[in-house]
Chain A
Amino acid sequence: MKTDLQLSDDQLRRIRETLTRIRKGLSMMDVRQAEPAHIFHPILPPLEKPNGQ
């Protein structure tokens, strides 16, 4: 992404607040054992294994 965008103080504040809020929320969960949702299609059921395996 272009890095020489001229950002206003208000835009910089919004960016800072958005990132702080997101990072605080993400840090509240222990995700060490978690699998990510299927990024492309999050509601597809797990694939059936062949031959009932």
Chain B
Amino acid sequence: MDNSLNSVTEQAAALAQSGTTSSELVEKALDQFRSSQHLNAFVALNEKAVRRQAEQSDERRKKGRGLSPVDGIPIAVKDNYWTLDHPTTACSGAVPKIPEGQDATIVRNLREAGAVIFGKTNMHEWAYGATNTGSSIGPTRHPLDPNHITGGSSGGSALAVADGVVGAALGSDTGGSVRIPSAACGIVGYKPSYGRASRYGVLPLSWSLDAPGLLTRDVKDLLLLAPYLLGADPQDPSTFSARRFDPESTARGKKVLALTGPYLERRADVEDVIQGARERLGRDFDWNTVQMETMEPYFAAWEAILHSEASSYHQHLLQEKPDGFGDVTIAHLVAGNQLSAVEYLHAQKIRQQFMGILTVLFEKADILALPTLPVTAPGQDEVWQEFDGRRVTTQDSMTWFCWMGNLAGLPSITVPAGLAENGFPVGLMMMAKPGEDEYLLQTALQVQTVLQQSVVSEFA
């Protein structure tokens, strides 16, 4: 595969220097889409609409009226964002009435900047699962080996980027759904702080945990796209106090705290990759390790909030279209319905206690670090994962570390750390204080530079 012009940064530079056109980028993306359709990254792709956007972008640039650095760049969108030129189904047979001809706020931001909205990506039904095996159009398949999963729920978005169809894709993240498939597929995935990016027009799963997010090949791409993601939106009250992205912000602190302890175990080959990354980063960052008490009650709080809020949102839809949901989704929704209001509030109290623990940790460190996943991309049929004395479902192994960022609203990112012995990618996850997205992205850029990893290029 031609790896040239695969990152958004490279595409933007080529467009600015008239080294390519949006139409050329779109045709290349369509060719790659067709050659990898068996991996099942897309649920909808309106080629006519995509080509029309590219032609309009080329016309603007010819006249010297480019709208922004990303004018003409194809960007794929997870199927739970409203899009005016593609249907929105959340890859479920049970879908509420979606407003026609309307974009989610972030999609609108990108479209107004001239980006080409390049189709809708496959996802785990309603983002309610982290394997991407539960989708109305079937599972996504890993670009290294189709017998392995991509992880999810933004599995199609990760696949579209890792496989070189597009340089960036939108995803959503309630317990890791951007970071999980990004790590499994060897790319970069970023979940902003809760309340800094609008969720308007993104079908909810759990509104106090949900965040939109971006998947790219390079941290530089995130810095280019962050202005269209972050900022206040009158249509999402959680963003009322959100600051715009500040490109002048620079990284400062260098203290990293690696978390270990019960419910933070990981497979030995994954830990080997992380230790190797830590050694390479040792000269630039001050690394320490902290042994945590068990994460079990905090994970339970995250899960209680997730199922309670999802059950509340889906209650009417489950009554109206019970046959549209997958079996596992129905089981989750019924479980959520059986949790009491008292249990939900206990979970919110434990959430507050967890945030108190993080406050103490952030007095000692600027970044909290973990592997993004405790394992590498599992096989499509693997139900269980075993590591370091734990035996958990593949679903739970995917969210094993990532839920923390959602429970506390932290900005969080995964960057490729290397390949495990089996040849599959391992991601390094970093989390910063709430609101410190610029610092996290700048730090991630430094980490990426040091690691000099381009896992994608090793197999794409």
Q: How far is the CA of A15 from the CA of B238 in the complex (A)?
A: 31
**Interface status of B454 (Cβ within 8 A of chain A):** no
Q: B61-69, B130-138, B351-359: which one contacts chain A?
A: B351-359
Q: Mark B341-368, 1 if CB is under 8 A from A, else 0.
A: 0010111111111010000000000000
Please, how many residues of chain A have a CB less than 8 angstroms from a CB on the other chain? Answer: 31
Closest B residue by C-beta to A14: B331
Contacts of A15 in B (CB 8 A): 331, 334-335, 338
**Interface status of A24 (Cβ within 8 A of chain B):** yes
Q: How far is the CA of A44 from the CA of B409 in the complex (A)?
A: 10
Closest B residue by C-beta to A8: B327
Q: Mark A15-26, 1 if CB is under 8 A from B, else 0.
A: 100110111111
Contacts of A26 in B (CB 8 A): 297, 300-301, 304, 343, 346-347, 350
Residue among A10, A11, A22, A37 making CB contact with B348, cutoff 8 Å = A37
Q: Are B303 and A21 in contact (CB under 8 A)?
A: yes
Contacts of A34 in B (CB 8 A): 349-350, 352-353
Residue among B300, B337, B351 making CB contact with A42, cutoff 8 Å = B351
Within 8 A of B (CB), among A4-53: 5, 7-8, 10-12, 14-15, 18-19, 21-26, 28-29, 31, 34-37, 39-44
Q: How far is the CA of A26 from the CA of B339 in the complex (A)?
A: 12
Q: Are A40 and B238 in contact (CB under 8 A)?
A: yes
Q: How far is the CA of A51 from the CA of B241 in the complex (A)?
A: 21
Distance (Å) between the CB of B233 and the closest chain A CB? 14
Residue among B318, B343, B434 making CB contact with A43, cutoff 8 Å = B434
Distance (Å) between the CB of A25 and the closest chain B CB? 2
Q: Are B337 and A40 in contact (CB under 8 A)?
A: no
Residue among A14, A24, A35, A40 making CB contact with B300, cutoff 8 Å = A24
Contacts of A36 in B (CB 8 A): 345, 348-349, 351-352
Contacts of B299 in A (CB 8 A): 25
Instruction: Evaluate whether A2 and B318 lie within 8 angstroms (CB atoms) in the complex, with A8-B327, A26-B350, A37-B352 already known.
Output: yes
Q: Are A41 and B195 in contact (CB under 8 A)?
A: yes
Q: Are A25 and B300 in contact (CB under 8 A)?
A: yes
Instruction: Evaluate whether A18 and B350 lie within 8 angstroms (CB atoms) in the complex, with A24-B300, A29-B297, A41-B194 already known.
Output: no
Within 8 A of A (CB), among B305-333: 307, 311, 315, 318-319, 322, 327-328, 330-333
Q: How far is the CA of A26 from the CA of B241 in the complex (A)?
A: 32
Q: How far is the CA of A34 from the CA of B319 in the complex (A)?
A: 36
Q: Are A42 and B331 in contact (CB under 8 A)?
A: no
Q: Are A25 and B296 in contact (CB under 8 A)?
A: yes
Residue among A2, A8, A21, A37 making CB contact with B355, cutoff 8 Å = A37
Contacts of B337 in A (CB 8 A): 1
Q: Are A2 and B195 in contact (CB under 8 A)?
A: no
Instruction: Evaluate whether A1 and B335 lie within 8 angstroms (CB atoms) in the complex, with A25-B296, A28-B297, A40-B208 already known.
Output: no
Within 8 A of A (CB), among B359-401: none
Q: How far is the CA of A35 from the CA of B348 in the complex (A)?
A: 8
Q: How far is the CA of A33 from the CA of B334 in the complex (A)?
A: 30
Contacts of B301 in A (CB 8 A): 25-26
Q: Are B303 and A22 in contact (CB under 8 A)?
A: yes
Within 8 A of A (CB), among B404-445: 407-410, 434-435
Contacts of B322 in A (CB 8 A): 2, 5
Among all A-B residue pairs, the 4 with the closest Cβ atoms = A25-B300, A43-B409, A36-B348, A34-B349
Chain B contacts to A: CB under 8 angstroms: 193-195, 207-208, 237-238, 241, 294, 296-301, 303-304, 307, 311, 315, 318-319, 322, 327-328, 330-335, 337-339, 343, 345-353, 355, 407-410, 434-435
Seed contacts A1-B315, A5-B322, A19-B339; 19 additional CB < 8 Å A-B pairs: A14-B331, A14-B332, A15-B335, A21-B300, A25-B296, A25-B299, A25-B300, A26-B300, A28-B296, A31-B349, A35-B352, A36-B349, A36-B351, A40-B207, A42-B355, A42-B407, A43-B409, A43-B435, A44-B241
Chain A contacts to B: CB under 8 angstroms: 1-2, 5, 7-8, 10-12, 14-15, 18-19, 21-26, 28-29, 31, 34-37, 39-44
